Chains A and B, each alone.
Chain A
Amino acid sequence: MSEEIEKNNVALPEPGSLVLSTSPHVQDGDSITKIMVKVLICLLPAVAASIWFFRFDAIRILVYCASFCIFAEYGWTLATRQRATVGDYSALVTGVILALNLPPGVPWWICAVGSIFAIIIVKELFGGLGQNPFNPAAAARVALLVGFAGPMTQWAAPAAGSLISGATPLGAIQAAKGSAEAIAHLGAPDNLMNLFFGNVGGSIGETSALAILIGGLGLMAFRLIKWQIPLAMLVTIFVFTGIVHMAAPGLTPNPIYHVLSGGVMIGAFFMATDMVTSPITPLGALVFGALIGILTCIIRIWGAYPEGVSFSIVIANALVPLIDRMCYIRPFGWHSHSASALQIRRGEIK
């Protein structure tokens, strides 16, 4: 027998050299880094659209945000003497998404403040990746909007094509409020096409619904996001604004206008679906998406701010643990008469 082994030239494993772990002993090969890279690939259409419409401004903001985010995370892990985590690309993803949420005219220090806020205060102070309750990019956008309203509302025209009246589509609603005619004019098919392709003012990444949709479909194809969230969010916004538009045509434009304008598309596909800050149960994801939709509509139609997506996402993030608890799925084989499970949960028996 041993001659056969020598023929094969490899000895049987030596004691002490084998790996010991619990089962399972194989994995499917995916990793956090690979997921982040796929998300970046799905962001490329939106990035390309932003550069197409806003030229150098877009490149400038993207580079600043990405760099500041990466340096902020690296600096933090260095200062707190932890293993460097920038290698998992999550800081880069946050940087890109934050950049896509900023108006084209922002100075460099807005990018810096936003990035540092997103990475250090919203993410690292809570414990790093996986522990943050709030979406870093959304929370940073909210903080910047509230703290630096001036620079954050300077809108520039896109480099190509014509502008609709009013600096951004949502700003245009405020301008046209009260007049059913003006609102209807906003919702005209020409304008909707502009909205769809991105030929409008707004943050550099949120204008082109088409680019975001391509990226969003990519996310769903790669099975990176919980599809219930964008579905629930878009359907809710559509239905809610549809009802309001039919009831009060002078108040708000038609639902297609709402879905294609502002941060709804990018919020639905790239921000609300952030894994760490969204519910983990399928039903919870639906409720979460619907909640964001309702809040967005309320803020847009009756609130002081023209845009409500970032606020809604942050509010809904705070409710995620509660949503998960309420939408919990029963284990396989749980019967209404099986005493053990439910009674333990209720504390009726130990």
Chain B
Amino acid sequence: MSTVAARTRATSGPPSRLGDFRDDGPLARMVGRASGAVPIPPAVLMLLSALPLIAVLAVDGDNRPALGAAVAWAVIAGGLASGRPDSGRFAWTGPTLLRPLEYGTLLAFAVIAGPQAVPFCFALVAALAFHHYDTVYRLRHQGVAPPRWLRLAGGGWDGRMVFGYVLLLIGAVGTGFLVAAIALAAVYVAESTVSWSRFSQPRRPAQYDDEEDEDD
């Protein structure tokens, strides 16, 4: 293999797009560092992370301690998966399962808090969805993921799940979601706009343009 080719392989091979898609916060990252000790594929960890939450919500969503434990478990199991986002042939299910895990949990908190909180939950999920699509599309068209500080500022899926639970405990889900939605939307949209105003050339080869968003 020629040296130039070797260099290309080293620089053009994306570090981990799946890792970028995940949107892990500081909590998940911390847990993720221990992932080496747990040789379970991320896809399995992701499934395991959601099961207790689903069980608690199905049986008794008003049981706050049980709900708290389930959220903590989700952060731990999902966080472990963040350490090795690309491993296993089902690695692609990682980011896929994170979206319904986070959005679904936030929706459940809103439902428990009362119907007036649900529209605010819609606003919050919309802001998050913008960010998650933005991450994918910017990787595709700019060749780079949003910066690290933005991920920290957003708290990650883990941080937001804990944040939602805390709001539930103090009885401020509606207002909390509304404030978070406005703040996050402002930061996400502003950062994206700035990135485009600074963008000139793609750093990584773009994926082929005719690629479908929705294929078989």
> Do A and B interact with each other, yes or no?
no
